[in-house]
Amino acid sequence: MEPTSRIIVALDCDKRETAFAVAERLGDECRFYKVGLELLTAAGPDVVKGLVSRGKEVFLDLKLFEIPNSVAGAVRAAGALGVSMVTVHGMGGGTIMSAAVEAARDFPGLRVLALTVVTSMTDADLADVGVGDRMDRQVLRLARLARKSGCHGVIASPQEVAALRSALGPDALIVTPGVALPGESPAEHARPGTPRAAIADGASHVVVGRAVTRAADPAAAFRHVRDSLTS
């Protein structure tokens, strides 16, 4: 996979116009965008349709955690929008993940990814919600359950990539938010890493946000991230 295809730009904004302006400034440099809950709630599904109509791939980061029938319905709706990836929460268990995978079968280009543990959480946060194991063990436990349930891959922090690649094999997608360039603040991410390190450890994709979307020249910032993957 060539470097440009491995970078997903997170459109963490609250207006459709802002999202489209970023995509316009990036032009042909960027092929893949993440639409999360904030933008989807503020702008609705038209923002996804607009990106797809521009020839872009969309990672719809819904983190679905509901009864299986509702999850399946949401996955089918995502598929109908033309998205390439959709997320389901691994903590929902195997039945929910299997329902998502089954619903995606009607959309050959749609891949279901399981969120393991969000990148803002620490071991102490896990303990607060009754998970007594360490972060790395919990991530691997949920990743193995996701594989058993038929998911195409997982979402995890850069710090868990090497262990996940070893556990899941060469074909699984491993998408890593929480990346930051050297010297850049990791913001709210508790388990950060650089894009280059994540790819070297076996990540299939890295998700970058403000470092690109809020740069004075987003296209130049994107190229800087892309070049960092191989330099």
For the annotated catalytic residues, the residue numbers are: 63
- SS3 assignment, position 130: coil
CA quadruple 24, 44, 77, 206: dihedral sign:
positive
Name which of 132, 191, 126 is nearest 164 in CA terms: 191
Alpha-carbon span 205 to 52, nearest angstrom = 19
Please report, in angstroms and rounded to a whole number, the separation of the first and last CA atoms in the chain.
Answer: 16
Q: List the structure tokens of 52.
A: 């797809």
Spell out where the chain has E strands. 7-10, 32-35, 57-64, 85-89, 111-115, 153-155, 173-176, 205-208
Which residues, in sequence order, are CB contacts of 137 under 8 Å at separation 6+?
none
Q: Could you tell me which residues come within 8 angstroms of residue 185 by beta carbon, excluding any fewer than 6 positions away?
A: none
